[in-house]
Amino acid sequence: MDKFLLARQRHARLAKAGLFVPGAAAGAAALGGANYYKDAYAFDGKGIESIIRRSNPGIPPETIEAYRRHILTWAQHYKLPPLLVAAVIHVESRFREDSYYLGNAGPMQVNITVHKERLKRMGIAIEDLRTIEQGVHAGCSVLIECILGSGGDYVRALTWYNGAMNPHYAASVLAMYAYGKGAAARP
């Protein structure tokens, strides 16, 4: 059965029970449909620092630079909007590269069980996920697969990336993405 169909069915059950506020759709509408194929972005890195500082105000400048550099490198490699990658990291780990929770590791919280074969193919050891470079690399690999598999729809892609566990996940990521775009637009 289609993973997206399962997510939609789960969201419908949550909505019927009054537990799901369809904020993800509202977040997508605020971004003009939030579609990968319609999204215009640049690899200049503007806005990334704003997202990092909002997520984790005490982060040292050298760590900010490392995140900025690796986000730009891997986003460009996978043709992803850098601000979307930064927004995912914000929601997943608040820019704490050594983050680990329920089998998910690193700044983008890549699931070590689900993506075991992917990590092996990429030559990334599980313990290396907890570094900025390899954590962002693996997370971007998963994220682009979700985006392409969803036909470019960010809400569906982010729901898939999250494993459809949290109905508010996509809305949270898209809200931070919009914040980053606003910060990037400021002089």
CATH number at residue 87: 1.10.530.10
Rounded alpha-carbon distances, angstroms, from residue 35 to 1, 3, 41, 114, 123? 24, 19, 12, 26, 31
- The residue with tokens 């990092």 is 52
Nearest to 89 by CA among 58, 67, 66, 72: 67
Strands 104-105 and 110-111: what pairing? antiparallel
Q: CA of 186: how far to CAs of 32, 46, 75, 169, 181, in Å?
A: 19, 9, 22, 26, 9
Cα–Cα distance measured from residue 88 to residue 69, given in angstroms and rounded to the nearest whole number: 16
Burial readout 129-166 (b: 16 or more C-beta within 10 A, e: otherwise): bbbbbbbbbbbbbbbbbbbeebebbbbbbbbbbbebee
Taking residue 39's Cβ as centre, other Cβ atoms within 10 Å add up to: 19
Helix/strand/coil for 111: strand
Strands 100-101 and 110-111: unpaired
The per-residue pLDDT for 27 is: 41
* pLDDT tier, 41 (very low <50, low <70, confident <90, very high otherwise): low
In this prediction, residue 10 carries a pLDDT of 52
- 19 burial via Cβ count (<10 Å: 0-12, 13-18, 19+): exposed
Q: Where does the pLDDT of residue 163 fall: very low under 50, low under 70, confident under 90, or very high at 90 and above?
A: confident
Among residues 172, 149, 174, 168, which one has the least CA distance to residue 160? 149
Paired sense of beta strands 100-101 and 104-105, if any: antiparallel
At residue 122 the predicted structure's pLDDT band, cuts being 50, 70 and 90, is very high
Domain containing 118 equals: 3-185
Residue 29 has pLDDT above 80, yes or no: no
Q: Rounded mean pLDDT of 173-177?
A: 93
Which amino acid would we find at residue 78?
Y
Structural contact between residues 153 and 16, judged by C-beta atoms closer than 8 angstroms: no
Q: Please tell me whether the overall predicted TM-score, pTM, comes out greater than 0.75 for this model.
A: yes
What is the domain count for the chain? Answer: 1
